[in-house]
């Protein structure tokens, strides 16, 4: 199965770090508040955060009472940042691609993943491996780029705009053609996998999960009016999609 590790590219890592540490970033303003609202009670829970990146989420889960968090990621640079900046006695960071999650001999009450499955060629296979790691009744809560957001090829603008640049419509490119999408984002050949909405649902269900909740990202009005230039036109499409799933008891 194809694997990429763009976060260990120096230029990409520095740029992503800059974006993630900026006060106005999509993760803290849009993604994290929705994800945290979808979490079950975390007090005393053993957790796995897949594609943990710089460890911000692992720290949030400990603050909410989780007894242990294992953060796994493919990128040494991301894990190094996590170990230096988001360490705690009950967090462990380990280099492990999500394609190899079946190598873990452990079980977890709650598994999470934030914006990492964009890079999974075979999402159903990854989800099956996560299912096997959960205790009966355990939960998986994850976010990924929304299918309308990955229906993009980088050649044309994501939006149809007025002459003044105001976003009028969101554009979709080849929504029905699934697979690898390559476009310029920091580097020339940034890669993500595009899946139709139905494929996403069927991958989750085929892995054995029950879907309990689904959310699509949207910004609270107070954030839009606080940063009007940054988020003009945000109503046209959701950037992220979120699922809370559970393993059968």
Ligand X SMILES: C[S@@+](CC[C@H](N)C(=O)[O-])C[C@H]1O[C@@H](n2cnc3c(N)ncnc32)[C@H](O)[C@@H]1O
Q: What values do phi and psi take at 22, rounded to 5?
A: -65, 145
Interacting residue with ligand X among 2, 3, 94, 184 (CB under 6 A): 3
Residue nearest to ligand X (CB): 53
Nearer to ligand X, 64 or 167 (CB): 64
Regarding 195 and contact with ligand X (CB under 6 A), the answer is: no
Interacting residue with ligand X among 97, 138, 147, 238 (CB under 6 A): 97
- Residue 247, C-beta contacts closer than 8 angstroms, at least 6 positions apart: 131, 134, 135, 136, 137, 138, 139, 140, 208, 209, 210
CA-only gyration radius of the chain, Å: 18
Regarding 86 and contact with ligand X (CB under 6 A), the answer is: no
Regarding 240 and contact with ligand X (CB under 6 A), the answer is: no
CB of 248 to ligand X, least distance (A): 26
Per the CB < 8 A criterion, the answer to whether 124 and 178 are in contact is no
Nearer to ligand X, 115 or 151 (CB): 115
144: left (phi > 0), else alpha (psi -120 to 50), else beta? beta
Question: Contact region for ligand X (CB under 6 A) — 51-59, 86-94, 128-136, 197-205?
Answer: 51-59
Interacting residue with ligand X among 74, 111, 192, 200 (CB under 6 A): 74
Q: Which of 155, 131, 159, 146 is nearest to 195 (CA)?
A: 146
HSE on the CB side for 65, CA within 13 Å? 8
Regarding 114 and contact with ligand X (CB under 6 A), the answer is: yes
Tell me the C-alpha distance between 139 and 234, whole Å: 30
Nearer to ligand X, 51 or 238 (CB): 51
CB of 167 to ligand X, least distance (A): 23
Question: Contact region for ligand X (CB under 6 A) — 113-121, 154-162, 201-209, 228-236?
Answer: 113-121
What DSSP designation does 209 have? P
Name residue 161's beta-bridge partners: 167
Interacting residue with ligand X among 12, 26, 29, 57 (CB under 6 A): 57
CB of 52 to ligand X, least distance (A): 6
Nearer to ligand X, 95 or 248 (CB): 95
Regarding 71 and contact with ligand X (CB under 6 A), the answer is: no
Regarding 78 and contact with ligand X (CB under 6 A), the answer is: yes
For the residues of 58-85, what is the DSSP string, one character each?
Answer: HHHHHHTT-SEEEEEES-HHHHHHHHHH
Per the CB < 8 A criterion, the answer to whether 215 and 241 are in contact is yes
Nearer to ligand X, 51 or 147 (CB): 51
Nearer to ligand X, 98 or 209 (CB): 98
């Amino acid at each position: 199965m194809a694997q990429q590790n763009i976060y260990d590219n120096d230029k990409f890592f520095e740029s992503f770090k800059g974006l993630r540490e900026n006060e106005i970033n999509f993760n803290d303003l849009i993604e994290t508040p929705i994800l945290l609202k979808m979490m079950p009670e975390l007090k005393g829970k053993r957790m796995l955060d897949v594609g943990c990146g710089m460890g911000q989420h692992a720290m949030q889960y400990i603050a909410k009472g989780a007894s242990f968090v294992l953060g796994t990621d493919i990128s040494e640079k991301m894990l190094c940042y996590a170990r230096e900046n988001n360490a705690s006695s009950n967090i462990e960071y380990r280099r492990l691609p999500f394609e190899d999650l079946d190598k873990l001999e452990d079980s977890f009450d709650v598994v999470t993943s934030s914006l990492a499955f964009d890079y999974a060629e075979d999402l159903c296979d990854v989800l099956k491996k996560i299912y096997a790691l959960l205790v009966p009744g355990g939960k998986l809560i994850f976010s990924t780029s929304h299918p309308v957001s990955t229906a993009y090829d980088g050649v044309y603008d994501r939006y149809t705009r007025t002459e003044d640049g105001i976003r009028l419509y969101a554009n979709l490119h080849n929504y029905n053609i699934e697979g690898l999408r390559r476009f310029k984002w920091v580097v020339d050949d940034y890669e993500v996998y595009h899946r139709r909405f139905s494929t996403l649902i069927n991958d989750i269900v085929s892995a054995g999960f029950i879907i309990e909740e689904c959310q699509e990202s949207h910004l609270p009005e107070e954030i839009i009016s606080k940063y009007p230039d940054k988020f003009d036109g945000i109503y046209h499409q959701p950037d992220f999609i979120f699922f809370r799933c559970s393993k059968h008891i």
